[in-house]
Amino acid sequence: MIELYINGSSGRMGTTINDLVNENDEFKVTDNLTSADVVLDFSHPTSTKKIINSCLKHNIPMVIGTTGLNKDVLENIDIASKTLPIVLAANMSIGVYQLKDSLKSFIKKNKNRVNCSIEETHHLKKLDKPSGTAIEIENLIKDEDTLNLISLSKTVSHRKDDISGIHKVIFIDKDVTYTYTHKAISRDIFGNGALYCAKKVIKLQPDLYTFERIIN
């Protein structure tokens, strides 16, 4: 049985993961960091920085899903990944992975000049704007658009009700509009993705892993 320490256990994702673990006999949540096989971090950037140091001290692999990380924390993660296997992913949904795959395919086949907009909607308590997933999508589009055919506008962020997450990418050319959407119905998809990463990362060598690398 894999012992998990959840940094941010009282938050939305922490609560979701706790609930999923209660229905899964592969995992057990522990309050004792030193006995954990892996740490799941869904907290706040300042807390992420602290838990990295603790994991380095006790040599514990990490899965980090906290978003809004600044340059300082990202540098700490990069340094720590030389010693620990770390998964860093703003979104651990298989559906978002498939969305990115679809976007790559569209961009590869596209031969026209198009305008592109990204919209993301989350619950009222999500502080970072745009979302980490929206930033990843924006970077993906920039990286894949080697022919410079895509004019990308500023990402639009909405905070509303208790929405788990909606990401919409729209491409418009003179004749047609293409829309790609990922809508999370519940946070379970992210929680299950995090547990999948936890199961994998404890078997990996020190490095910094994306969700895509874990899936592949």
How many CA atoms does the CB half-sphere of 94 hold within 13 Å? 8
- CB 85, CB 197: distance < 8 Å: no
Quote the pLDDT of residue 135. Answer: 94
pLDDT at residue 71 above 90?
Answer: yes
Quote the pLDDT of residue 216. Answer: 84
pLDDT at residue 164 above 90?
Answer: no
- CB 137, CB 93: distance < 8 Å: no
The one catalytic residue among 28, 44, 111, 122: 122
What is the per-residue burial (b if ≥16 Cβ within 10 Å, else e) of 64-89?
bbbbbbeeebeebbeebbeebbbbbb
* 111 included as an active-site residue: no
Q: CB-based burial of residue 173 (10 Å sphere; 0-12 exposed, 13-18 middle, 19+ buried)?
A: middle
Output the pTM of the full model.
0.81
The one catalytic residue among 50, 58, 100, 126: 126
The domain 94-183 having CATH identifier 3.30.360.10: the answer here is yes
Q: Which residues contact 105 (CB under 8 A, 6 or more apart)?
A: none
Quote the pLDDT of residue 166. Answer: 95
Q: Which class does domain 2-92+188-215 fall in?
A: alpha beta
- CB 123, CB 164: distance < 8 Å: yes
* 182 included as an active-site residue: no
Show me where the domains of the chain are located. Answer: 2-92+188-215, 94-183
